[in-house]
């Protein structure tokens, strides 16, 4: 096998582009563009925002179940590529079914299917592919992949907003399902290769120990006996829950404080765009500054961003500052989790350990948006929800400091 670390183009970057497309046109469409449908659907069907936001909970719950068994699902008995191919078809078809839903129960049933297929297509398999293909510049590669969920917002939010106004929310769901399939299917069916060996290559950066495949770190059983594992799960749930509540309710919040639907969609799009840039910057920051420093910087940004969001009604400048800070900080929910998992526990049992981390991620997503919506329904404002999120993140900052007191198994934290 040839090591193409620096000489010529490495196929690992094709894997990055393919995973970027999955994040852009699948994960982003389902999770980050969710908020654009809240007001049109609830006003048309007479559904409360909390009831509609439960769709996010159903998606996350289904993803959580799949992630819990990801060690077995992605064990190698069935190729990751084949799983992702089936998931591409299933996810596009399931998303299209939203166009025919008329009651909460039907929405929830569809959301369960959407969550299952999304879990088989997005975070866990994409992070496994990056881990397989990269030994160096892994932070950059991971940042580029998860940057897709932010770039998707820039591309899709204006399209969804325009379609909503011209053809209604039902046809918008149907059209976007087609867009998803056209964008993702070429990647999963033709471009993705699970390992460098499938192309006769070594990982970007080469192999350790004279070409031997480098396996290090803990088994899943060993990780469960480590306090850092449980602190990481707690931290992931808090971070994701707080960030998800902002991302999914942002468009509605901006509209509620006096801006038009078009402006609120633009703010949501800008938020996702800056999040995309933030993911790229965060990936490089993890490569350069290390795990501990990078994670704490992102935490400080997301705390400050959500705190400032609570003052957005006082002027558009507050929205601008929020967008910048949150764009960097929210990268924690995507770029940081797989990097933290590898740094703390190694790659020996990565799929099993990261699968449970992704369960915590799904729990956070499941509870964050509905709690924010419930606070709005009871208080008539999202501001108390932003106060609660900022307070929880301050507690989580302390949790992370405790987690980082002990040197990770895989690499030093600095």
Q: Is 349 within the bounds of a domain? A: yes
Confidence at 2, pLDDT banded by 50, 70, 90: very low
Task: Please tell me the predicted confidence (pLDDT) of residue 7.
Answer: 54
For the cut 50, the answer to whether the pLDDT of residue 223 exceeds it is yes
Q: Which residue has the higher pLDDT, 169 or 287?
A: 169
Question: 152: Cβ–Cβ under 8 A, 6 or more apart, which residues?
Answer: 23, 24, 25, 27, 28, 29, 32, 33, 272
For the cut 80, the answer to whether the pLDDT of residue 261 exceeds it is no
Confidence at 4, pLDDT banded by 50, 70, 90: very low
As a whole number, mean pLDDT of residues 159-164 equals 92
Task: Please tell me the predicted confidence (pLDDT) of residue 259.
Answer: 74
Q: For the whole model, what pTM was predicted?
A: 0.76
Interatomic CA distance for residues 121 and 222, integer angstroms: 28
Q: Is 335 within the bounds of a domain? A: yes
Interatomic CA distance for residues 172 and 165, integer angstroms: 9
As a whole number, mean pLDDT of residues 187-196 equals 96
Q: Is 326 within the bounds of a domain? A: yes
Interatomic CA distance for residues 319 and 212, integer angstroms: 51
Confidence at 411, pLDDT banded by 50, 70, 90: very low
For the cut 70, the answer to whether the pLDDT of residue 130 exceeds it is yes
Q: Phi/psi at 2 (nearest 5 deg)?
A: -100, 140
Confidence at 34, pLDDT banded by 50, 70, 90: confident
For 292-343, the pLDDT digits (tens) are 999 999 999 999 999 998 888 777 788 888 888 998 888 888 889 998 998 8
Considering the chain, what percentage of its residues have pLDDT values greater than 90? 48
Confidence at 258, pLDDT banded by 50, 70, 90: confident
Whether the CB-CB separation of 239 and 389 falls below 8 Å is answered with no
For the cut 70, the answer to whether the pLDDT of residue 212 exceeds it is no
Average pLDDT, the chain: 87
Highest mean pLDDT among 68-77, 146-155, 163-172, 253-262: 163-172
For the cut 70, the answer to whether the pLDDT of residue 108 exceeds it is yes
Q: Which of 368, 374, 337 is nearest to 145 (CA)?
A: 337
As a whole number, mean pLDDT of residues 172-198 equals 96
Task: Please tell me the predicted confidence (pLDDT) of residue 41.
Answer: 95
Q: Is 2 within the bounds of a domain? A: no
Confidence at 6, pLDDT banded by 50, 70, 90: very low
Q: Which residue has the higher pLDDT, 31 or 107?
A: 107
What is the tally of structural domains in the chain? 1
As a whole number, mean pLDDT of residues 62-75 equals 85
Task: Please tell me the predicted confidence (pLDDT) of residue 143.
Answer: 87
Task: Please tell me the predicted confidence (pLDDT) of residue 99.
Answer: 97
Find the domain containing 336 and state its range.
12-403
Q: Is 261 within the bounds of a domain? A: yes
Whether the CB-CB separation of 363 and 239 falls below 8 Å is answered with no
Lowest mean pLDDT among 54-63, 106-115, 124-133, 230-239: 54-63
Interatomic CA distance for residues 87 and 192, integer angstroms: 14
For the cut 50, the answer to whether the pLDDT of residue 413 exceeds it is no
347-366 core/surface letters (b: 16 or more CB in 10 A; e: else): bbbbbbbbbbbbbbbbbbbb
Residues in the chain: 414
Q: Is 409 within the bounds of a domain? A: no
Task: Please tell me the predicted confidence (pLDDT) of residue 376.
Answer: 87
**Which CATH number is 25's domain given?**
1.20.1250.20
For the cut 80, the answer to whether the pLDDT of residue 265 exceeds it is no
Task: Please tell me the predicted confidence (pLDDT) of residue 414.
Answer: 43
Q: Is 71 within the bounds of a domain? A: yes
Highest mean pLDDT among 63-77, 118-132, 207-221: 118-132
Interatomic CA distance for residues 254 and 82, integer angstroms: 41
Q: Which of 27, 92, 11 is nearest to 60 (CA)?
A: 27
């Amino acid at each position: 096998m040839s090591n193409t670390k620096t000489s010529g183009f490495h196929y690992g970057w094709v894997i990055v582009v393919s995973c970027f497309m999955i994040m852009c046109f699948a994960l982003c469409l389902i999770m980050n563009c969710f908020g654009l449908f809240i007001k049109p659907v609830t006003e048309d069907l007479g559904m409360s925002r909390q009831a509609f936001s439960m769709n996010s909970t159903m998606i996350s719950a289904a993803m959580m179940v799949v992630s819990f068994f990801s060690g077995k699902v992605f064990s190698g008995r069935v190729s990751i590529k084949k799983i992702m191919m089936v998931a591409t078809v299933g996810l596009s078809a399931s998303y299209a079914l939203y166009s025919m839903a008329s009651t909460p129960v039907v929405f929830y049933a569809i959301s369960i299917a959407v969550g299952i297929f999304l879990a088989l297509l997005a975070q866990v398999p994409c992070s496994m592919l990056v881990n397989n293909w990269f030994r160096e510049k892994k932070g950059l590669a991971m940042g580029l992949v998860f940057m897709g969920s932010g770039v998707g917002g820039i591309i899709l939010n204006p399209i969804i907003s325009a379609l909503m106004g011209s053809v209604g929310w039902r046809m918008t769901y149907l059209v976007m399902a087609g867009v998803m399939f056209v964008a993702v299917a070429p990647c999963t069916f033709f471009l993705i290769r699970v390992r460098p060996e499938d192309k006769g290559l070594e990982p970007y950066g080469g192999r350790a120990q004279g070409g031997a495949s480098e396996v290090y770190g803990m088994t899943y059983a060993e990780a469960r006996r480590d306090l850092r594992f449980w602190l990481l799960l707690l931290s992931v749930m808090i971070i994701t829950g707080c960030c998800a509540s902002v991302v999914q309710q942002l468009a509605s919040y901006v509209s509620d404080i006096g801006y038009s639907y078009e402006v609120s969609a633009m703010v949501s799009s800008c938020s996702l765009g800056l999040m995309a840039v933030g993911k790229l910057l965060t990936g490089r920051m993890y490569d350069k500054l290390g795990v501990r420093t990078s994670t704490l910087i992102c935490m400080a940004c997301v705390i400050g961003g959500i705190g400032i969001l609570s003052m957005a009604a006082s002027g558009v400048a507050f929205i601008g500052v929020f967008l910048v800070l949150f764009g960097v900080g929210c990268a924690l929910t995507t770029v940081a989790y797989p990097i933290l998992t590898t740094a703390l526990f190694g790659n020996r049992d990565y799929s099993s350990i990261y699968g449970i981390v992704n369960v915590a991620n799904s729990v956070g997503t499941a509870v964050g948006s509905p709690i924010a919506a419930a606070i709005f329904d009871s208080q008539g404002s999202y501001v108390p929800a932003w106060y609660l999120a900022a307070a929880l993140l301050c507690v989580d900052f302390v949790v992370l400091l405790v987690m980082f007191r002990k040197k990770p198994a895989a690499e030093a934290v600095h």
